[in-house]
Structures are given as C-alpha cells and as structure tokens.
Amino acid sequence: MKFTERLKTGKKVFSFEFYPPKTAEDTAKLFATALELMKLSPDFVSVTNSSSGVAPYRTVALCGVLKAQFGLEVVAHLTCLAHTKSEIAGICGGLVKMDITNILALRGDPHNVEADARRSDYSHASQLIADLKKTGGFAVGGACYPEKHPEAPSLDADIARLKEKVDAGAEYLITQLFFDNAFYFRFLEKAAAAGISVPVLPGLMPLTGYKQMQNFTKLMQVGIPDALRKGIERWDGDKDGMFKFSVDYASAQAAELLKGGAPGLHLYTLNRSRAAIAILKNVRTDVAV
C-alpha cells in the first residue's frame, strides 16, 4: 500500500530521511544504514535536495537506487531554489521512469545555494506544488513549522501561507524538527482552524551534542525545553551517555505524539541507523504500533 493511502486509513506511518552523500566512503555508510533500516519496514524514506549546481541530481540518483536496489518506497525532495521549471519537468519525467511517484516540494534555503546557481522560476513552495500537481500522478507533500518558519511574521501568518500550499495540492505535511510536543499539538489546532485537514507527520531527531543544540536554536529557531537542555549539558562529551539520553528523550517524545494522535513519525537520520533503530524499537514496544 502506498504510504499516502496508508495515511488516509489512519494507520501509523514511519519514515526516515537521508541526504545524498558526497564521498564514496559516505555512500557506503549510507547503503549500510539503508540495509539496517529496511529491516524495520519503513513506509517510505525521503532524500533531501540541498545544494546547487549538479548536486541536486544526486537526490534523483539516490532515490533511484533506494527504490530499484533496496525496494524502498521513496520520496524525492525538490526545491524551488535548485531548479528551473524546465529542469523540474525533466526530473519528473525521470522519476516517473523510475516509478517514483512521491515528491516533497520545498522552497529551499538561499544560504544553502550559491547565488549564481540559484533558480528563480518559483518563489514559494506553493507554486512548485501547483506545477507538480499539473503533471499528474505524483503524491506531493510540503514542509511545515510548528514554531513558525523563521521568516514568517507570526505563526498565524505562516499557517495562512501553509493553507495555500495545501490548496495548491499538498496531500501531506512533514514538520520541521521540534523538541517540545506542545508546539506540535498547538500547531495542529491552529492548522485545523485554518481549514488544513491533511496529515501532519512530526519530524523528530535526537540531539547529539551541545554544539548541535546551539546550531538548531540559531538556524531553525526551535525551542529547547529545560529538561532537554540540562540533559545535553550534563552528557556533552560522553558519547554513550549522550546517545542514551537523547534516544530516551526522542522515544518519549515519539510515544506521546503517537498516543496523542500523530499519524506517524518521520525520523531525521543524518544517514545513521543506530538512533533511529533504538527509537523505533522503544516506540513500538511502548505504543504497540
């Protein structure tokens, strides 16, 4: 069953996010990760599309391998900043040939794309989504931000823009990572009040260190609850202690989300399997899904 069909039935969906590796060594590590994570029967894996020049095509190439060789259901990320309209049309043709029918459509972040390689046919993800829906046959999703997108003037204003993405054809949404479930549940209420009724998959990632916590707070503007901050400070520099603490924290977060009605979980893996496996095992024991 396609994961979008499964989402409609109310069955929980579990997924993993990968990014295209740059070196042969990292590629080998990613394939080892994919082999491990396959054993957990994810409903899909997604592949980010995060840089300029020829690099975006690594996304499509990796999607093809994960689908053909690993038999995984794949979601290809495509960004407005990395592609022109005609490149998108060409990529879509390629995806269809590879039998990949899932796309996560994003604007992208200007600071991740060199100025001379930035495309400007689309200014916002809603425009890309509308175009992708015209080609037909793709299940298209979009991103959302429980604590608001950093550029948005307010959460309400951001949700009004999000409604435009859903009206353009987004069939599901995946959230930015967050560490306090209250933001997710508040976001769902506000989104429903704005007329958004598509499933919202929470995106989770265990923190791996103090520096990473600082980066996320600064770049993504996500809040860090006191209990998490104290734990990260306590275990910083102790690899095993940090791993256990952050996996336990993310597992508790995941269990509460699923019990509270979240349609599933999207785990940001950073191309590593250990934390994702531990979290899913904990969650499946705790919530029996």
Q: What is the binding site for ligand FAD (CB under 6 A)?
A: 48-50, 77, 79, 106-109, 112, 124-126, 143, 149, 151-152, 158, 161, 165, 174, 176, 203
Shortest separation between residue 108's beta carbon and ligand FAD, angstroms: 4
What is the rounded radius of gyration, in angstroms, for the C-alpha atoms of the chain?
18
Shortest CA distance to 201 belongs to which of 223, 218, 178, 222?
178
Q: Tokens at residue 196, please?
A: 């958004």
CA 155/CA 147 separation, integer angstroms: 7
Shortest CA distance to 106 belongs to which of 17, 12, 8?
17
Residue 217 burial (10 A CB sphere; 0-12, 13-18, 19+): middle
The number of residues making up the chain comes to 289
Residue 46, by phi and psi: left (phi above 0), alpha (psi -120 to 50) or beta? beta
Shortest separation between residue 63's beta carbon and ligand FAD, angstroms: 12
Shortest separation between residue 143's beta carbon and ligand FAD, angstroms: 3
Check if the beta carbon of residue 279 is closer than 8 Å to that of residue 254.
yes
Shortest separation between residue 237's beta carbon and ligand FAD, angstroms: 30
DSSP E strand stretches across 193-271? 200-201, 203-204, 264-268
Shortest separation between residue 52's beta carbon and ligand FAD, angstroms: 10
Active site residue 256: no
CA 163/CA 192 separation, integer angstroms: 10
Shortest CA distance to 265 belongs to which of 275, 243, 280?
280
Residue of 17, 73, 147, 171 marked catalytic = 17
CA 55/CA 140 separation, integer angstroms: 22
Shortest separation between residue 155's beta carbon and ligand FAD, angstroms: 10
In 3-state terms, what secondary structure has residue 85? helix
Residue 134 burial (10 A CB sphere; 0-12, 13-18, 19+): exposed
What are the catalytic residues? 17
